[in-house]
């Protein structure tokens, strides 16, 4: 694999004023070509530091990307530093000057003197057109190594990357994308996944597995697969091991998956939420066109509304409490009948930090999904702060909904 490095230049990033998004963008695009950078290094707008960093990294590198510091102001030091490291003279590129003059003239503005500095580039540099800004991208070839300089402004960097860098990488290094298997799981901790699948993974040579845990679950990303057959075989084996935990593949969200299922099976949804406070409806309505299957939701935060909208019996609330299996079972069927939908969802729990009792701790959540035929419920005990419990509860409810619809 090609040794690739990213150097991000900018005081604004080190001082926390700006979130660097360029390295993420470049890493994502390189990943599709089967390249992962060895490291990403963010440094200050300081000539000595820039020169030392580039000089150190150029030795083991095949390709080095540098973003930032390409502008014409005194704190833009990338071009001069690179020229020093590569021992090249700066030369005036007439085409750059002409382009900048054209931009200013078309805006009826005087051409600033700094435009000349913008046109000074190291001798032998290949220029990459910047259609959305002043500073062009630059590629410097040093033997078989490539040093690729891009502006720090994300929209300019991205444009040049797409129109100039990708064709260059294709021409120069003939890069081909690997297969990547991406599985999304929920309701199972990372450690349990590892125990369930590590013997399968061992059988496949040269693959790399990453576990990406979030509040909602653990995504499994397997890269380094060179062959479609191997991809399919591995996918099949993992699907068998993790059948009830895998809710999606690739970038699909649980909301999209439920949307697709509802459309395919022509089902309508109604939701009665207490502890999630609208979050389930929010996730469902993030999907364009969700009004086709989502009739509506009731955020029944008070017991009054649990009775009024979700048709929970007073006697059930008195006997079992608002946070109980019995209450969510009635909520799921009650909302289904009230809203006249195919499927009803009910959820009630203790999001905390207050509201817990000895028998009902913070994080205790009951979920129910009801269809015309049956109603099933689950009990969960989640940890974390209030928001995390809401997020985990919504995810668990949506996943129970997914599993229920898949069986229909």
- List the interface residues with a copy of itself, window 39-78 (CB under 8 A): 39-45, 49, 53, 71-75
CB of 327 to a copy of itself, least distance (A): 15
> Six-digit token pair at 363?
């994080």
Using the minimum distance from each CB to a copy of itself, give the nearer residue, 17 or 373.
17
Count of residues that bind a copy of itself according to CB under 8 A: 112
- Counting every residue written for the chain, the total comes to 408
CB of 380 to a copy of itself, least distance (A): 8
Using the minimum distance from each CB to a copy of itself, give the nearer residue, 143 or 289.
289
Instruction: Kindly identify the residues of this chain, within the stretch 94-113, that bind a copy of itself according to CB under 8 A.
Output: 103, 106-109, 112-113
What lies within 8 Å, CB to CB, of 31 at 6+ separation is 180, 223
CB of 79 to a copy of itself, least distance (A): 16
Using the minimum distance from each CB to a copy of itself, give the nearer residue, 126 or 285.
285
Q: Cα–Cα distance between 213 and 21 in angstroms, integer? A: 21
User: Are residues 68 and 27 in contact, defined by beta-carbon separation less than 8 angstroms?
Assistant: no
CA angle 282, 288, 292 (to 5 degrees): 90
Binding a copy of itself by CB under 8 A: which of 199, 211, 227, 239? 211
Using the minimum distance from each CB to a copy of itself, give the nearer residue, 113 or 143.
113
Q: What are phi and psi of 173, to 5 degrees?
A: -120, 0
- Should residue 294 be labelled a site residue for a copy of itself when binding is judged by CB under 8 A? yes
Q: Cα–Cα distance between 200 and 162 in angstroms, integer? A: 38
Using the minimum distance from each CB to a copy of itself, give the nearer residue, 19 or 89.
19
Binding a copy of itself by CB under 8 A: which of 60, 383, 406, 408? 383
- Should residue 142 be labelled a site residue for a copy of itself when binding is judged by CB under 8 A? no
Instruction: Kindly identify the residues of this chain, within the stretch 225-264, that bind a copy of itself according to CB under 8 A.
Output: none
- Should residue 277 be labelled a site residue for a copy of itself when binding is judged by CB under 8 A? yes
What lies within 8 Å, CB to CB, of 131 at 6+ separation is 159, 163
Site string (158-187) toward a copy of itself, x via CB under 8 A: ------------------------------
Using the minimum distance from each CB to a copy of itself, give the nearer residue, 212 or 232.
212
DSSP strands (E only) in 51-178? 63-67, 90-92, 120-122, 126-128, 137-142, 145-150
Using the minimum distance from each CB to a copy of itself, give the nearer residue, 227 or 286.
286
User: Are residues 50 and 80 in contact, defined by beta-carbon separation less than 8 angstroms?
Assistant: no
User: Are residues 403 and 244 in contact, defined by beta-carbon separation less than 8 angstroms?
Assistant: yes
Nearest by Cα to 234 from 178, 185, 182: 182
Which of these ranges, 57-65, 85-93, 233-241, 297-305, lies near a copy of itself under the rule CB under 8 A?
Answer: 297-305
User: Are residues 250 and 182 in contact, defined by beta-carbon separation less than 8 angstroms?
Assistant: yes
């Amino acid at each position: 694999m090609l040794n690739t490095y990213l150097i991000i230049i900018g005081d604004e990033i080190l001082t926390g004023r700006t979130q660097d998004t360029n390295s993420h963008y470049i890493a994502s695009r390189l990943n599709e070509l089967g390249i992962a950078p060895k490291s990403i290094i963010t440094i200050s707008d300081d000539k000595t530091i820039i020169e030392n960093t580039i000089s150190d990294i150029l030795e083991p590198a095949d390709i080095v990307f540098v973003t930032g510091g390409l502008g014409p102001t005194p704190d833009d030091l990338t071009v001069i530093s690179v020229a020093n490291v590569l021992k090249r003279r700066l030369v005036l590129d007439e085409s750059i000057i002409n382009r900048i003059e054209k931009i200013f003239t078309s805006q009826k503005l005087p051409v600033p003197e700094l435009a000349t500095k913008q046109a000074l580039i190291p001798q032998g540099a290949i220029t990459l057109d910047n259609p959305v800004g002043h500073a062009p991208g630059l590629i410097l070839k040093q033997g078989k190594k490539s040093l690729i300089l891009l502006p720090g402004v994300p929209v300019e960097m991205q444009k040049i990357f797409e129109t100039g860098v990708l064709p260059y990488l294709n021409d120069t290094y003939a890069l081909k994308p690997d297969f990547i298997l991406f599985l999304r799981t929920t309701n199972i901790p990372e450690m349990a996944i590892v125990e369930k699948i590590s013997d399968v993974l061992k059988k496949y040579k040269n693959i790399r597995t990453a576990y990406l845990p979030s509040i909602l679950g653990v995504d499994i990303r397997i890269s380094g697969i060179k062959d479609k057959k191997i991809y399919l075989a591995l996918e099949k084996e993992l699907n068998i091991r993790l059948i009830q935990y895998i809710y999606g593949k690739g970038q699909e969200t649980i909301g999209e998956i439920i949307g697709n299922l509802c459309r395919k099976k022509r089902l309508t949804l109604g939701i009665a939420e207490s502890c999630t406070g609208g979050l389930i409806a929010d996730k469902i309505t993030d999907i364009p066109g969700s009004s086709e299957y989502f009739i509506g939701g009731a955020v029944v935060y008070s017991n009054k509304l649990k009775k009024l909208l979700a048709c929970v019996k007073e006697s059930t609330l008195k006997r079992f409490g608002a946070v109980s299996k019995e209450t969510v079972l009635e909520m799921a069927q009650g909302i289904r009948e009230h809203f006249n939908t195919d499927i009803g969802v009910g959820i009630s729990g203790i999001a905390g930090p207050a509201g817990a009792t000895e028998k009902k701790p913070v994080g205790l959540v009951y979920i129910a999904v009801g269809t015309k035929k049956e109603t099933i419920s689950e009990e969960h005990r989640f940890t974390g702060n209030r928001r995390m419990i809401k997020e985990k509860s919504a995810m668990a409810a949506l996943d129970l909904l997914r599993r229920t619809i898949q069986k229909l």
